[in-house]
Amino acid sequence: MGIDNKIKKIVSGIEASSNHLKTGAGHHKNTDELIDTINHVFAMFRVNFHNQYYSAFGDNNESENLAKKLWLNKLANFKTNTIYRASDIIIEDSEYLPTLNKMIQICLTCSLPKELPTAKEGYFEACNKPTPKASQAWSHPIVFLAGRDTGWSILHSEIEATAFPRFQNIFEKYRDRLAGGETFSIENKEGRKKLKQKPAAKRYNKEQIKALKSSLEQI
């Protein structure tokens, strides 16, 4: 079979594969788009890693579709353009058919901001920041949020072997949401309190001025 015919066969199989995946996929707001993305990524891998791909799946459509469903589930938090970008990086830089874990790691790299620290770096940052925590400059808001949710008292009093796993678990959940396109910010309650106190100060100054005027009139 010529290359053109192979590609035509692969492309023609995408629609059939999409229909099969839709019957077994859970509800997702962009399920159809995600399914099409996974199918196209597998098709690209089939062309680029031809021998390895057929060594892994052969002509076993059931095995291939099970793998696609697993990828569909594990990559659901990523935007489709992130998945495409990650697959392009793999095709350009790797000689081997990627594992799902490899794909997830590259998707994370593609979708996370460069300034985001690792979980361990974030842990030390959260432990060392002085109070008030919300008023400090953070490398990224999710470091603050992970520290807050872990509990500042735990970070300051527990040993690393106890506190870090708790922080890491929370941090990675925020990281995954960040990779999915969610945005986060730090709510500075102290700052809000100070802003609320300004009108009271103004009222107090007005009362002082009024009292001063009254005393001057009596002179």
Q: Domain for residue 196, yes or no? A: no
pLDDT confidence of residue 146: 98
Considering the domain architecture, whether residues 10 and 105 belong to the same structural domain is answered as yes
Q: Domain for residue 190, yes or no? A: no
Considering the domain architecture, whether residues 104 and 12 belong to the same structural domain is answered as yes
Considering the domain architecture, whether residues 25 and 77 belong to the same structural domain is answered as yes
Residue type, 105: Q
Of the pLDDT bands very low, low, confident and very high (cuts 50, 70, 90), residue 122 is very high
**83 neighbors 75 (Cβ within 8 angstroms):** yes
Query: 56-60, 73-77, 121-125, 214-218: which range is least confident on average?
Result: 214-218
Of the pLDDT bands very low, low, confident and very high (cuts 50, 70, 90), residue 14 is very low
Considering the domain architecture, whether residues 132 and 92 belong to the same structural domain is answered as no
Of the pLDDT bands very low, low, confident and very high (cuts 50, 70, 90), residue 67 is very high
Q: Domain for residue 127, yes or no? A: yes
Last residue of a domain, one of 89, 111, 133: 111
Phi/psi-derived region of residue 132, left when phi > 0, alpha when psi is between -120 and 50, beta in every other case? beta
Considering the domain architecture, whether residues 123 and 69 belong to the same structural domain is answered as no
Structure tokens at 56: 């892994």
> Maximum CA pair distance of the chain?
110
Structure tokens at 120: 């361990």
7, pLDDT greater than 50: no
* CA atoms of 107 and 63, how far apart (whole Å): 24
Each residue's pLDDT tens digit, 149-169: 999 999 999 999 999 999 999
**116 neighbors 86 (Cβ within 8 angstroms):** no
Q: Domain for residue 204, yes or no? A: no
27, pLDDT greater than 50: no
Considering the domain architecture, whether residues 102 and 12 belong to the same structural domain is answered as yes
Give the mean model confidence (pLDDT) for residues 42-52.
Answer: 95
Q: Domain for residue 141, yes or no? A: yes
Domain that holds residue 61: 3-111
Q: Domain for residue 42, yes or no? A: yes
Alpha helices in 49-151 (DSSP H): 50-57, 61-74, 80-93, 100-111, 119-128, 141-150
pTM of the predicted structure, to 2 decimals: 0.60
Q: Domain for residue 212, yes or no? A: no
Q: How many domains does the chain have?
A: 2
**DSSP-assigned letter for residue 80:** H
pLDDT confidence of residue 208: 45
Considering the domain architecture, whether residues 83 and 19 belong to the same structural domain is answered as yes
| pLDDT above 70 coverage of the chain, percent | 72
pLDDT confidence of residue 179: 86
**57 neighbors 70 (Cβ within 8 angstroms):** no
Structure tokens at 85: 């970008």
Q: Domain for residue 61, yes or no? A: yes
